[in-house]
Each structure stands twice: as C-alpha cells, then as structure tokens.
Amino acid sequence: MMKKFNDTFLRAIRGEQIDHVPVWYMRQAGRYQAEYREIKKTRTLFEITHDSELGAYVTELPVKQLGVDAAILYKDIMTPLPSMGVDVEIKSGIGPVIANPIRTMADVEALQPFNREDIPYIYETIRLLRERLEVPLIGFSGAPFTLASYMIEGGPSKGYHKTKALMYGQPEVWHALMEKLGDMVIDYIKSQVDAGIQAFQIFDSWVGTTSRKDYVRYIKPTMERIFTELKDTGVPMIMFGVGASHLAEEWHSLPLDVVGLDWRLSIDEARERGLTKPVQGNLDPSYLLAPWEILEAKTKEILDMGMKQPGFIFNLGHGIFPEVDPEVLKRLTAFIHDYSKEKMEVGK
C-alpha cells in the first residue's frame, strides 16, 4: 500500500492548517553522512550529479534517514555555468575555481545563453525523485550576485574586492552581467519546474557582504525581475543568504513566498521589522554540536517564535557541516515534529 504523500512543507508555505511544523536542512545531503563520504572517495561532485541514479540516491538518503518534510535536489550552484561557457572546476578543499574570470564587457558578451539541453541528467534525477519521494522536492539556483562573485574573483573570496570594484567602477559591465545571469536563473529554474520540482530556493550565499543601499541599486532590480517572471510557475519561491539580516525587508518586498533567515536575526525581530510573509529558519548549525539539553532549549525558542503565526518552516541558519552526528539530526527532526504537534493540539 502506498504511503500518503507528506505535503506539510507546501501547506505551511500556503498558510494552511498543518499538524506539525515542517523541517528540512540546508546541505542535508553531504559530508556528515558516512554513505556520502564513501561515495566521495571515488566520485567528484560533478560526477555524482551527472549520474542521475546516484544523484537521486544522494538526494533521497537524508529524507529516509532523518524523516524530514522535504528533499532538496543534490547539485551545485555551478551546475548551469558550463552551459554559458564558464570554465569551472570544483577543487577539493577550495571550492569552485574559474579559469576564465570576468574582467571586461567583452568577457560578459562572450557568455553564451544558458541551454537547458546541456543538463539532461538534472531533469532525469528530478524525474526519478518524483517517482520515489513521499515529500516535496525543492530545486534551487545560485543568485546572480553570488554566481558573479565566483565568476569575477575566479573562485572563493573573503572580501569580494574584485567583485565590488567591478560593480562600483564598471557599472555598465556589472549590469550587463546581472542581465545575463538573471536570464539564466529564470530559464534554469523554469526548466527544473518543467521537470517536476515543487518549490525552489535561491541561494545568495555571499550577498551579505553588500550594503542595503548597494543591494537596492546594483542587485535588487535583477532579483525583482527573476521572481516576477517565475511567479507564473505557481511553485513556491524561497530566498536565502548568509549574514544578510540587513536585507530582510528588501527580500520581503520582492514577489516571493518565503524569506529564509540565518541565525543572526530572530524570527520575533523579523516580525517586528514588518515581515509578514512565511519565514524559514533559523537554528545556528553550531548548536548541533552542543549538549542535547542546550540544543533542545534553543529549538523550542525558535519553534515558539515561528509558531506565533502561520507560515513557518524550521531549518538551520546555514548548512549542515561535516562534524555533525546524523543521530543528532534524526533526534532533532523528531523533536521538532513532536513538540510542534503537541503545541498545535493544545492551541486548537
């Protein structure tokens, strides 16, 4: 007999009645899992994502192990860039390294339009997962600023000085790059929706390095266009970035569905600042290494804030890191479900 599909995550976003707070974890497929570490001994990230069966297995594994309410497609934010002509390699211990960084308008003009036919393995992975999963599947994309930062710096950066120098010093080049990356994100996410994803999250991992004024001037117009053009997909849209609490109101004003919060801004503070849309977050992942009673108390605090109004999804304020014990995550997931269910039953 087929199990009932658990759509709690989707219903929470819509503000509908639910019997527990849904939870999923950023980087819930990754190096904290023994099975994943074993795969990574012989396969690179790109090799895993190009193998649809393996990609589906890695995506589904944490859902089975932890009991979370959503799966997030296992792939990298760099996945669509080779289609545009970006020479990117994921180097162990470093991250994405780009051999042909953006420096001039000619470099931007040399970028090709994203071609969805270049990544059929991603769509096959989505198809396989939709057949197997009993929870919603989340797709994602990197945001234009974060992708641009890698493309301009040539790899990971601490200060993003080259990125900002181009943004401030060559605004015409910057806006041309934003335009091309905006086009890519729109088509890339639409292609995932066409393949079967049921929600998506845009990760702007490094946008917190910009000021609110600069965000409004140099980045927000592209984000406005992206979310506006994706609205008609009917798929819930989530925004998340790290160290970006000062941008929460700007995100809230975008035509998206869920504002993701990292741990620096509490849910109560976000509500006090006028955020009325559903929110997602926001346990500091470092708590996962703390004694259980400390983790439990902090989780209760977040749940109590989040449950004050409909539209709350529990998540971490950033991704799971390798030192985390899977058993802690499993116990945490069960606690979130049990505690929130009990509170909701009392409140009826």
Mean pLDDT of 327-346: 96
Q: What is the pLDDT of residue 348?
A: 62
Model confidence pLDDT, tens digit, residues 140-152 = 999 999 999 999 9
| pLDDT band (50, 70, 90) for residue 2 | low
Give me 57's structure tokens: 């297995």
| Residue 93 predicted with pLDDT over 90 | no
Q: What is the DSSP letter of 172?
A: H
Q: What is the pLDDT of residue 40?
A: 93
Mean pLDDT of 29-48: 94
Q: What is the pLDDT of residue 327?
A: 98
Q: What is the pLDDT of residue 138?
A: 98
The overall longest dimension of the chain from CA atoms, in Å, is: 63
Q: pLDDT over 70 for what percent of the chain?
A: 99
pTM of this prediction?
Answer: 0.96
Model confidence pLDDT, tens digit, residues 173-211 = 999 999 999 999 999 999 999 999 999 999 999 999 999
Mean pLDDT of 106-111: 98
| Residue 3 predicted with pLDDT over 70 | no
| Residue 1 predicted with pLDDT over 70 | no
Mean pLDDT of 100-121: 97
Local structure of 345: helix, strand or coil: helix
Q: What is the pLDDT of residue 197?
A: 98
Q: Could you tell me the strand order of the sheet in which 137-142 lies?
A: 71-72, 137-142, 199-204, 237-241, 258-260, 279-283, 312-316
Give me 236's structure tokens: 């819930």
Nearest alpha carbon to residue 133 among 196, 63, 199? 63
